Amino acid sequence: MKELEFVRRIAHKFKVKKPVIHGIGDDCAVLQYTKEKYMLLTCDMIIEGTHFTKKTSPYRIGWKAMAVNISDIASMGGVAKYALVSAGVPRGKGVKFLKEIVNGADAISKKFGVKIIGGDTNASDKTVLNVTLLGEVEKKYLATRSGAKIGDLIFVTGTLGDGETRHLDFLPRIKEARALVTNFKISSMIDLSDGLAMDLNRVAEASNVGARIYRSLIPLAENAPPPRKIPPRMTQIDEFFSRGEDFELLFTASPRESKKIIEQIGEKNNLPVTMIGEVVKKRSGVKLVEENGRVKPLKPVGFKQL
Amino acid sequence: MKELEFVRRIAHKFKVKKPVIHGIGDDCAVLQYTKEKYMLLTCDMIIEGTHFTKKTSPYRIGWKAMAVNISDIASMGGVAKYALVSAGVPRGKGVKFLKEIVNGADAISKKFGVKIIGGDTNASDKTVLNVTLLGEVEKKYLATRSGAKIGDLIFVTGTLGDGETRHLDFLPRIKEARALVTNFKISSMIDLSDGLAMDLNRVAEASNVGARIYRSLIPLAENAPPPRKIPPRMTQIDEFFSRGEDFELLFTASPRESKKIIEQIGEKNNLPVTMIGEVVKKRSGVKLVEENGRVKPLKPVGFKQL
């Protein structure tokens, strides 16, 4: 079953009230914190065989586990502050391996002002790492998945399709997210961890809208690998759009704000962003417009499936 | 290498300053929160093959993962509030398995007033579950590992040695911990997750003291299994004292407070506690006094080793 469906069921089961502002169903949980700020709380687990291989260096494993969590904080418009790291490490690997994991997590933490304040180490058959990250965001800058409005434009940062080649040492888009939320009114935001198809559907579902994106507008990474053998029940269209781990930001803004954003686009402004489509009525669904004008449904088929 | 040693090295690397009150090296990280309260943050991972078996029911896995974290909050004198749950589940297991994990975690969460506010699901070869728990504690009630003083008496709650038979459905000692911190001055506290030998050494190390406990005073569980085959480098004494997963509380109090505690001991007062020894000078080490009066060192050999 797709994670989207499972999360929907779980979200219903665990409906939350204040002081929990947002519970299950966004990149971070949002809690009351200070008068001006919300607390952001997120956790992501990475597992040998799913998110990295037996051959991945422990330094990169530590880096990636921290990076994916910082990316979740970025997608809510926040700043990352404190981290807890839980590790399961094969008995035979020894302390050096664990130390290298910590070094990797520490290196990226330092880059983004994160302090590692706790942890848990365990023996495990395969390597597994969980990072919990506590962040904060000014109430006025909070971005969620659920604010997209009909008529909004849809943007992504950076280029897509080559997550496979850089997911182990990517830099989460915190700087760009902060530039966006502090300079513009962003109506919704998510990080692209599980592929454009899945994550765009998440925004549409949470915002109760539809979406239409254009293949000709999608900023393809130069070194994006060619389409792979298509898994069963996937069409060619799915394969590209279900490529996960780009860790770019997908966000929406009103036409008025979009105009301002487009005027300032450019690396110089920390705004390496591209407009890829528009928000439409829910009953129009989530669709891709091909270069020949044909419109195809974009199903929530993604990188992360059970 | 023993976790104690690894944590010591790590704790040195990540020395923290305010607003982090305590970082790595206690059951929870302690952060500034409100005027009267600290925030407690803890995470624990449980892994198939280490903390449960292939045959353990998913409900019990969910229950245990939440319970061990609530126990960490208890050991700091706090109350558990919000949880994030990360799961890695074998692809073949299906949604029912994951749902049962959530049901187990939810059942104990409800019992202890914990709200599950976020999560992450992944495919994994073996089942792994990480729970992050956010709690709070009034500043005046915070208990840590590091406050034991020479002359203090050492206590444990409940009975020891049968963790093996009840680690999958135990009730963390929140109620008892709150009764202790709100009615008495507790000088230090820890939960017994990795065995009396390891956890007593942790308190001694953090408090810069020694400890002496008496075998005749230790409240042995009626159904504690007989000593097992002794692992290499362990002596008979180690085997019993390295039995993990009792999840009882080990705490210390001054002689004056201890007198008050002893007077009120009993299930009626939520104080099922037993005095087992005393805090001594650091250079006296951590020792066990046998029933025949012989004194033996109690090495930090524990349940959880890499």
The pLDDT value given to residue A249: 97
Helices and strands in chain B, H and E counts? 8, 13
Please, are residues B43 and B30 in contact by the beta-carbon 8 Å criterion?
no
Interface residue B96 vs chain A (CB under 8 A): no
Asked if the Cβ–Cβ distance from A95 to B1 is below 8 Å, we say yes
Interface residue A32 vs chain B (CB under 8 A): no
Can you tell me the ipTM of this complex? 0.83
Interface residue A88 vs chain B (CB under 8 A): yes
CA distance A86 to chain B (A): 6
Reported as a pLDDT band with limits 50, 70 and 90, residue A143 is very high
Reported as a pLDDT band with limits 50, 70 and 90, residue A270 is confident
Interface residue B244 vs chain A (CB under 8 A): no
Closest to B137 (Cα-Cα) out of B78, B178, B72 = B78
The pLDDT value given to residue A223: 84
Asked if the Cβ–Cβ distance from A118 to B23 is below 8 Å, we say yes
CA distance A21 to A146: 13
Please, are residues A113 and A80 in contact by the beta-carbon 8 Å criterion?
yes
Tokens of B185: 């001055």
Give the residue extent of every domain in chain B. 15-140, 143-297
Ranked by mean pLDDT, the top range of A140-144, A261-265, B48-52, B220-224 is: A140-144
CA distance A172 to B108: 35
Write down the H helix ranges in A160-271: 163-166, 174-183, 196-207, 236-241, 255-264
Instruction: Look at strands A210-214 and A128-138 and give their pairing.
Output: unpaired
Q: Which of B28, B47, B121 sits opposite A124 (nearest CB)?
A: B47
Q: How many CB pairs under 8 A join A and B?
A: 198
Q: How far apart are the first and last CA of chain A?
A: 6
CATH match for A3-140 among 3.30.413.10, 1.10.3720.10, 3.30.1330.10, 2.40.50.140: 3.30.1330.10
Interface residue A126 vs chain B (CB under 8 A): yes
User: Taking CA atoms, what residue in A is nearest to B1?
Assistant: A95
CA distance A111 to chain B (A): 15
Tokens of B222: 């009626």
Asked if the Cβ–Cβ distance from A130 to B29 is below 8 Å, we say no
Asked if the Cβ–Cβ distance from A84 to B23 is below 8 Å, we say no
What number of other Cβ atoms are within 10 A of residue B184's Cβ? 18
CATH match for A143-297 among 3.40.720.10, 1.10.1370.30, 3.90.650.10, 3.40.50.10310: 3.90.650.10
Would you call A273 exposed, middle or buried from its count of C-beta atoms within 10 A (0-12, 13-18, 19+)? buried
Please, are residues A216 and A287 in contact by the beta-carbon 8 Å criterion?
no
Would you call A256 exposed, middle or buried from its count of C-beta atoms within 10 A (0-12, 13-18, 19+)? exposed
Interface residue A229 vs chain B (CB under 8 A): no
Asked if the Cβ–Cβ distance from B47 to A88 is below 8 Å, we say yes
Closest to A273 (Cα-Cα) out of A217, A214, A196 = A217
Tell me what the mean pLDDT of segment B233-250 comes to: 80
Tokens of B103: 């049901």
User: Which residues, in sequence order, are CB contacts of A121 under 8 Å at separation 6+?
Assistant: A86, A87, A89, A98, B3, B6, B7, B304, B306
Q: Which of A44, A122, A306 sits opposite B98 (nearest CB)?
A: A306
Furthest CA-CA distance within chain B: 58
Please, are residues B290 and B235 in contact by the beta-carbon 8 Å criterion?
no
Interface residue A3 vs chain B (CB under 8 A): yes
The answer to whether residue B285 scores a pLDDT higher than 80 is yes
Please, are residues A164 and A53 in contact by the beta-carbon 8 Å criterion?
no
Interface residue A29 vs chain B (CB under 8 A): yes
Closest to A80 (Cα-Cα) out of A64, A95, A67, A62 = A67
Asked if the Cβ–Cβ distance from A116 to B14 is below 8 Å, we say yes
CATH superfamily of the B15-140 domain: PurM-like, N-terminal domain (3.30.1330.10)
Interface residue A24 vs chain B (CB under 8 A): yes
Closest to B164 (Cα-Cα) out of B306, B296, B64, B45 = B64
User: Which residues, in sequence order, are CB contacts of A116 under 8 Å at separation 6+?
Assistant: A82, A83, A84, A85, A102, A105, A106, A109, B14, B23, B24
| pLDDT tens digits, one per residue of B80-103 | 999 999 999 998 887 899 999 999
Q: If you count them, how many residues does chain A have? A: 306
Reported as a pLDDT band with limits 50, 70 and 90, residue A6 is low
Would you call B297 exposed, middle or buried from its count of C-beta atoms within 10 A (0-12, 13-18, 19+)? exposed
> If you average pLDDT over every residue of chain B, what do you get?
89
The pLDDT value given to residue B1: 45
The answer to whether residue A236 scores a pLDDT higher than 90 is no
Top residue of A84, A97, A193 to mutate, by most chain B CBs within 10 Å, is: A84
Interface residue A236 vs chain B (CB under 8 A): no
Reported as a pLDDT band with limits 50, 70 and 90, residue A207 is very high
